Chains A and B, each alone.
Chain A
């Protein structure tokens, strides 16, 4: 663990939490930094909707296989266990977890993952979601590593409540619904961009995100512009911008 890198990441995340920050983008930065800092293979963040169903909010790669692995956990899996108990859940070797998670463990193994950790996102008495870390090798994460992971989960929670709590009288349930709807908007924009540029949704996401960063747009606003075909997105939708690598 590189302390300087860690400090840099926390400063970066704190800097992002200023006025008008974009929650979807913030949570994506967070999962990306987790992968780098904690040396895991993939990370994802799930939030509970008003039904108590877990929904993917951010993922370190947007591959359908990984997204499915998160979604599958509404039936069984470490995120569901973590969300229900409010406690961290870990398994050092998923090939020996088929009895515990009948659907999740074989699917995760097929996707190439061996180790899983789930850390709770907690706001006072409420568990609002879970943070999921995957590794391709069977190993137990160090205690120091899971502590940083938990700190990242806590920062994600702060970001979530910070975004809107000062406006109006919105409650946590409204904030979660709004956050989840932003994520759906990004998926629709990925579809529009994929079709217009003849690329896959994963590449479309990279394109969307890079463009938002380079042009200082908020990710969800750019996604809305892509779906509406408004002028902000004209250049992005035209085929002259080079597509990202596969």
Chain B
């Protein structure tokens, strides 16, 4: 199978699962699909927020829930590090001395809880930190490149579903989310930066505003972004975007 069709396969698996359950595509369905397809025990998605900087918004199983809650309780662990700005953290075995040293509280307690391997991928677009996708396993596990590539695709789809929810755009059943990072030209990211200055808001909020407006005006994101970069369109405070 070609690489280019990887995303279609995964999106197909997510929509097929939603169809079988008779529910719309959601982050929950995405996480369950990932837990099914990947050689892991469970999946969690956390976003930035709350007192310790993490808010669990989706979890597939008791092990993943315990390991996420453990991190929240002790304020240490890979999901929190990714949410704070780290790149991907791939831990094949929490029992290794390196990790016991790195997380003196989290690592031993995670082992007691039954967790052995954890792979956390950032949900990120440039400076926008959307959250983290955590994959937990109850035995040591080194995910091979092909599996990690699938995990990255799940992470990007998760980010898009998150953004759709934030922009008030319901994922249309059976159709792909409205924004695809890998099909996005440079202008979209430039326009995001410009709008953040125009409105005095974060780039994350600026990106949400840009997408919401494209959706409301029924325009392509790239076209609207081109108008912003060419200074034909400005976002101002009165604009409800």
Residues of A within 8 A of B (CB): 48-53, 55-56, 64, 67-68, 71, 74, 164, 168-174, 177-178, 181, 184-196, 200-201, 223-224, 227-228
Contacts and interface: CB of A to CB of B under 8 A. Distances in A.
Judged by DSSP, the binding face of A is: helix
Contacts, number: 121
**Which of B2, B186, B187 has the most chain A CB atoms inside 10 A of its CB?**
B186
Interface string B1-19: 0111011000000000000
A181 B196 CA distance: 19
A182 to B, nearest CB: 8
B190 A201 contact: yes
B90 A170 contact: yes
Interface of B: 2-4, 6-7, 87-90, 92, 124-128, 142, 145, 148-149, 152-153, 156, 181-183, 185-187, 189-198, 203, 229
B229 A201 contact: yes
A185 B127 contact: yes
Contacts of B193: 187-195, 227
A53 B194 CA distance: 26
A167 to B, nearest CB: 9
Given A188-B192, A194-B193, A55 B88 contact: no
29 contacts: A48-B3, A51-B6, A52-B2, A52-B4, A64-B229, A68-B185, A71-B186, A164-B87, A170-B90, A172-B145, A173-B149, A178-B88, A181-B125, A184-B126, A187-B186, A187-B190, A188-B128, A188-B189, A188-B193, A190-B190, A191-B190, A191-B196, A191-B197, A192-B194, A192-B197, A194-B193, A195-B197, A227-B127, A227-B196
Nearest to A67: B186
Contact of A52 (B3, B183, B185): B3
Closest 7 CB pairs between A and B? A191-B193, A52-B3, A187-B189, A184-B126, A191-B190, A185-B126, A195-B197
Judged by DSSP, the binding face of B is: helix
A223 B125 CA distance: 13
A178 B128 CA distance: 13
Given A64-B229, A168-B90, 8 more contacts: A74-B183, A174-B152, A189-B193, A191-B191, A191-B229, A192-B196, A201-B190, A227-B196
